[in-house]
Amino acid sequence: METLRHLLGKRSPKKDEELSARTGISPERIGQLLSSAEPTLGELGAIANYFRIDMRDLLPLQPRHQSIDLLFRSGGRKVDEPTASALSRRIGYSVELLGEGARARPSWVAEFSRRGTTYDDAEANAEAFRRLFADDDQVSPLFRLPEIAMGAMKVLLFLLATPRFEGASAFVDGLPFIFLAERFAPRMLFTLAHEIAHLLAHHDLSQSFAVVDVQTEGPRRASKNRDEFYAHAFASCLLLPRQGIGITLRKIRELQLEPNKELGDLDILLLSRVYGVSFYAAAKRCEDLSLLPRGGAASLNDSLNKKYGSPEKRAAAANLPPRPETQFPKLPIPLLHAAIEKVRSGEISVGKASSALGLSIADLLAANAPRVN
């Protein structure tokens, strides 16, 4: 129960009182759990609810999943025990459920340059991505990105309710994985593009790798790490194509009675809604294209936060139209199908399939029920 003890071991006396009050577990019993006592299912459920994690992620890792756990700890980044355990468990079960037949080098690997990590490299690969997966559309929004990732790219995409990270990506046994924390949808879209960049940039797919990103966008995420810089640049270029920005801003100006000479907050807010990204992501792309002065994106973002509470509140006050909705499936469909087939054939139990997928047994049984037309 290493994950459980990791969580309980970081408590202060004041927090212990809060934990006890909200879980119904006495401070004495919490001390026993820290001293290697085995928890009951009720205690595991209460603690999982308190820390906002899946109860299954408190259980010990199987030996076969421990090597995956090491991948998340060997990249030079600080990845805590609960995060590494949760991701390793899902990857390990996925590899087992899909079997050898699913482990093949993705066909898109050779289509992207891995020579450098500059902004120009990111721009070139973003354009290549749109040529390959979006019919060479270098203008339109890319709200279909989750569908492209799961369909054409064969990425196993998971959504997790966690405050611990924004996104994660991995290649394990030839299978590409992306994990997204459930957040504001525009932020999730950017994080998805960011994690796709990590998959594209990985140099040797014969070697497994794993990356966890605590933050993927925002004024405070500037990083000297070249891989992170590249992933951020790729996401920005992919979701906000250069040609599309020019056309969209021109249309916005045509609709204004007295357009300002300088690019303003409402212009960028409209741009962010057209392309389904956050205000800051749109502003930073404009800054990178020299449409705003250096530092202008952070300055505008701070100004809107101070004056209105957030860019989104500014947009609401101005009655701007909402962004189109981006759909993020909770679970990779191929994994669900593989689990259902193994349950039907008797290879695994419903309980094990439920643990592998992170679904309740009731939800899994519902997915397994015959369809009535």
Instruction: Report the amino acid identity of residue 233.
Output: A
> What would the mean pLDDT of 308-334 be, rounded to a whole number?
91
Alpha-carbon distances, residue 170 vs 146, 159, 199 (angstroms): 16, 14, 7
More confident residue, 298 or 83: 298
Where b means 16+ CB within 10 Å and e means fewer, 159-177 reads bbebebbbbbbbbbeebbb
Indicate if the pLDDT at residue 173 is higher than 70: yes
Helical ranges in the chain per DSSP H: 2-9, 13-23, 27-34, 41-51, 63-73, 81-98, 119-133, 145-150, 185-201, 226-239, 242-255, 265-275, 279-288, 296-308, 311-317, 333-345, 350-357, 361-368
Among 103-112, 161-170, 192-201, name the most confident range.
192-201
Quick one: which of 312, 281, 311 has its CA closest to 297? 281
Pick the range with the lowest mean pLDDT from 3-17, 134-148, 312-326: 3-17
Count of alpha carbons within 13 angstroms of residue 137, beta-carbon side: 11
Contact status, residue 265 vs residue 292, Cβ threshold 8 Å: no
Q: What is the pLDDT of residue 27?
A: 80
Quick one: which of 112, 175, 220 has its CA closest to 228? 220
Indicate if the pLDDT at residue 34 is higher than 80: no
Indicate if the pLDDT at residue 222 is higher than 60: no
User: Residue ranges per domain, the chain?
Assistant: 1-60, 242-317, 333-368
Contact status, residue 213 vs residue 191, Cβ threshold 8 Å: yes
Structure tokens at 128: 């290549």
Percent of the chain whose pLDDT exceeds 90? 39
Indicate if the pLDDT at residue 216 is higher than 80: no
Q: What is the pLDDT of residue 371?
A: 47
Kindly indicate the confidence band of residue 89, based on its pLDDT and cuts at 50, 70 and 90.
confident
Indicate if the pLDDT at residue 200 is higher than 80: yes
β-bridge partners, 179: 158, 168
Q: What is the pLDDT of residue 94?
A: 83
Contact status, residue 127 vs residue 372, Cβ threshold 8 Å: no
Distant-in-sequence, close-in-space partners of 173: CB < 8 Å, separation ≥ 6: 95, 103, 208
More confident residue, 122 or 356: 122
> What would the mean pLDDT of 74-91 be, rounded to a whole number?
75
Pick the range with the lowest mean pLDDT from 40-44, 213-217, 256-260, 304-308: 256-260
Indicate if the pLDDT at residue 275 is higher than 90: yes
Structure tokens at 248: 């969209």
Pick the range with the lowest mean pLDDT from 65-69, 193-197, 233-237, 314-318: 65-69
Kindly indicate the confidence band of residue 373, based on its pLDDT and cuts at 50, 70 and 90.
very low
Taking the C-alpha atoms of residue 37 and residue 179, their distance in angstroms, rounded to an integer, is 32
Contact status, residue 99 vs residue 173, Cβ threshold 8 Å: no
Assessment of whether the complete model's pTM goes beyond 0.85? no
Average pLDDT over the chain, rounded to whole?
83
Quick one: which of 324, 361, 338 has its CA closest to 145? 324
Contact status, residue 283 vs residue 277, Cβ threshold 8 Å: no
Taking the C-alpha atoms of residue 181 and residue 161, their distance in angstroms, rounded to an integer, is 6
Of 3.40.50, 1.10.260, 1.10.357, 3.30.70, the CATH number of 1-60 is: 1.10.260
Indicate if the pLDDT at residue 76 is higher than 60: no
Q: What is the pLDDT of residue 66?
A: 66
> What would the mean pLDDT of 185-191 be, rounded to a whole number?
95
Q: What is the pLDDT of residue 28?
A: 81
Instruction: Report the amino acid identity of residue 331.
Output: L
Pick the range with the lowest mean pLDDT from 104-108, 195-199, 203-207: 203-207
Q: What is the pLDDT of residue 203?
A: 59
pLDDT digits (tens, 9 = 90+) for 46-61: 877 777 766 666 665 5
Structure tokens at 247: 């056309």
Kindly indicate the confidence band of residue 365, based on its pLDDT and cuts at 50, 70 and 90.
low
Kindly indicate the confidence band of residue 372, based on its pLDDT and cuts at 50, 70 and 90.
very low
Pick the range with the lowest mean pLDDT from 334-343, 345-354, 355-364: 355-364
Q: What is the pLDDT of residue 257?
A: 63
Indicate if the pLDDT at residue 81 is higher than 50: yes
